[in-house]
Structure 1
Amino acid sequence: MTVATAAPLAVERLDGTATGHEQVLTCHDPATGLRAIVAIHDTRLGPALGGTRFYPYGSEAEALTDVLRLSEGMTHKAAAAGLALGGGKAVILGDPATAKTPELLAAYGRFVDSLAGQYFTAADVGTTAQDLDVVATATRYVVGHNGGSGDSGFSTAYGVFSAMRATAEHRWGGAGLRGRRVGVEGLGKVGARLVALLLEEGAEVIVADRSATALTDVLERHPQVTARHSVLDAPVDVYAPCALGATLTPASVDDLRATIVCGAANNQLLDPSVAPQLQVRGITWVPDYVANAGGLIQVAGEIWERTADQVRGDVAAIGETVRAILRRCDDSGRLPSQVADEIVAERLAAASSSVDTEEVGA
């Protein structure tokens, strides 16, 4: 791959110690209009990997808050999935509809390349595989572009499905999802594929989406599906949020009729107080960063040159992670989110111990 060369970028290192981040760097390139931030949260397990969000933030402070939160979430997602990866994220400030140019994307690639493999980037809101093709002209530390493993939507959906099936079997026995009613909220590239997997499993599916086009497309392909204005308060066994986050609030949980919540959306809880409220109501919530790690697992497979079959097996293993979490919950009475966080902490601590041992041996 030919790596683009150009004038040096203006990169500034910020202090991320207050938020527990290893590195936080900003990049301004007046020639292309690039304004970007990369946050590397934790690399004890391996190099950081996370997508690049291109978004018209109201201020650089708002963008910084977002990238710090998202990068920490990637540490949890990678550790829970058992990946030898750390957590990182990047944001580009600006409206992708008007500010995105090949020159800007190439400059961003040079910014990523300056980190020398400490951070691998992928797509996120506002960026596409085609954009990453341009980024890849300036760095090899990019995954998920057209020369890689392709669209990760199916892997994310399959991971959510594996997590949901494991939870259903834990609660209801061997029949799992067969004959159960599942409400899928959001019919994008993940939600629509989840619908197909659920129908193949023998579940009854109810759907909702704000987009009439997305709704019509799914109903045309799967006429046995029922559409509703909302599935959150529908008479379902499983609620699968696959669109916007924060749909689970103290008020909405009171209306929830499902027994299981498991979906692809990030940050499903409005705040941490909702998790114990779900438990009090007898609802099992699978933490989103556990259930939706399939896309990360797929693009991470590019780094280690995993085959498609190996990646599918790795994604299916999300189900085993969920089973281990739920068994610990049964034994301790703790929340799934508490147990998942504990597993993440154990894996990070084990990585720290390994590093310390190697340093002493050296």
Structure 2
Amino acid sequence: MQTDWGYPDFDEHEGVHLFSDHRTGLRCVIAVHSTTLGPAAGGVRFWRYADSAAAITDALRLSRGMSFKNAMAGLPMGGGKGVVLAPEGGAKTPELLEAFGRAVESLGGRYVTAEDVGMSEADMMTISGTTRYVSGLPVAAGSAGGDPGPFTAMGVYLGVRAAAKRALDSEDMRGVRVAIQGVGSVGGGLARLLAKDGAVLTLADVNEAKAEALASELGAATADPASVLTLDADIVSPNALGAVLDATTIAALKCKAVAGGANNQLATAADGARLHDRGILYAPDYVINAGGIINVALEYLGQGDRADVEARIARIPERLIEVWDESAASGRPQAEVADAIARRLIGRG
């Protein structure tokens, strides 16, 4: 008999592990969704949550997304995710990171961690002092591995170009209007790549000064983070936190396509159908944003170099086209089609 344990986002997860360490102040969740294809790989984020239930829900949703992402990317890895609840004052101490590493180590390799929101290469180095099961560490030039952000940005960039071709019949990005929410490692990298192609950009970030500085560098406009998704644009690209596409925002969209790097962009499963009903092309987030996990997975597995990473990332548009073609043929929403393909790949179809 299946149960959601009081959490609607529980999806037959193999394990949900709660850890605390009173000495360092660590409170964290590690969710293992599936290890069918290999160890559950997924980054750890350091974030201030409203309460522990919100942290558990985030870990559940993100770990399932990692299962789907790794499967769709053709990686021999399952899906997992770690979230560290930022303590009062937001201190991320070496001792806290070491305690998180011990939590990862205690799972015996079922979960492999890496960078995510609020974490860095330096943090991964600290974590690696107490666990073997970590990736995203500094590597030699030309090797697979290191900061996954630029690789995620590259994959999203290729996906945005594919979306422009599909939704706008545009062979290049010159004059294509793209509204980007979030200009961190991924959104900022995407903006720079699109600017080189001549796209017309509008940038937004909760750090307004950061968005304005990048806009000045690239000759872009800026907008409020809350309203940027509903601007009159050809493509909207969410690259901040998740659950930004809901009944209200989808009804207000004025774009032809949504293609961005944020995880869990859809607030609910019904929102994929809402996009489809409006005729808005959707690039499922865990397909388009797989570049980073491709990079750190090959690092962890010791398979290939940077050229191999880039070759795998170059296939992201092919996977998007597969989803879009099946959606067009079946009439089913693109998000639903992508989930069905991923579930088949992990043996849950």
State the TM-score, normalizing by the size of structure 2.
0.87
5+ residue gaps in structure 2?
Answer: none
Q: Please show how residues 231-250 of structure 1 align to structure 2 within 5 Å.
A: 231-250=228-247
Equivalent-residue separation in structure 2 for 1:71 and 1:214 (angstroms):
30
Give the deviation of 1:181 after TM superposition.
1.5
Q: Does the aligned pair in 1 maintain the 2:41–2:112 contact within 8 Å?
A: yes
Match of 1:347 in 2: 345
Q: 1:104 aligned to 2:96? A: yes
Equivalent-residue separation in structure 2 for 1:33 and 1:211 (angstroms):
27
**Match for 1:51 among 34, 40, 43?**
43
Equivalent-residue separation in structure 1 for 2:254 and 2:85 (angstroms):
40
Equivalent-residue separation in structure 2 for 1:188 and 1:52 (angstroms):
17
Deviates more, 1:186-195 or 1:96-105: 96-105
**Match for 2:157 among 154, 157, 161?**
161
Equivalent-residue separation in structure 1 for 2:100 and 2:184 (angstroms):
27
Match of 1:314 in 2: 312
Larger Rg: 1
Q: Does the aligned pair in 1 maintain the 2:134–2:300 contact within 8 Å?
A: no
Number of residue-to-residue matches in the alignment = 337
Q: 1:226 aligned to 2:224? A: no
User: Alpha-carbon deviations, 1:306-330, whole Å to 9, x = none?
Assistant: 3111111111211110011111112
**Match for 2:324 among 323, 326, 329?**
326
Q: 1:278 aligned to 2:270? A: no
User: Alpha-carbon deviations, 1:194-229, whole Å to 9, x = none?
Assistant: 112112233222223332321222123212x23334
Q: Please show how residues 201-220 of structure 1 align to structure 2 within 5 Å.
A: 201-220=197-216
Q: 1:64 aligned to 2:56? A: yes
What is the percentage of aligned positions where both structures have the same residue? Answer: 41
Match of 1:197 in 2: 193
Q: Does the aligned pair in 1 maintain the 2:62–2:263 contact within 8 Å?
A: no
Equivalent-residue separation in structure 1 for 2:308 and 2:346 (angstroms):
24
Equivalent-residue separation in structure 1 for 2:312 and 2:271 (angstroms):
30
Give the deviation of 1:99 after TM superposition.
4.4
Give the deviation of 1:74 after TM superposition.
1.2
Q: 1:262 aligned to 2:230? A: no
User: Alpha-carbon deviations, 1:224-274, whole Å to 9, x = none?
Assistant: x23334432322111111123333222222321110110112222232222
Query: Is the alpha carbon distance of 1:221 and 1:98 closer, same or farther for their aligned partners in structure 2, counting shifts above 3 Å?
Result: closer
Q: Does the aligned pair in 2 maintain the 1:15–1:24 contact within 8 Å?
A: no
Equivalent-residue separation in structure 2 for 1:213 and 1:114 (angstroms):
41
Query: Is the alpha carbon distance of 1:30 and 1:74 closer, same or farther for their aligned partners in structure 2, counting shifts above 3 Å?
Result: same
Q: Does the aligned pair in 1 maintain the 2:183–2:211 contact within 8 Å?
A: yes
Superposition CA RMSD, Å: 2.6
5+ residue gaps in structure 1?
Answer: 1-13, 353-362
Equivalent-residue separation in structure 2 for 1:97 and 1:105 (angstroms):
16
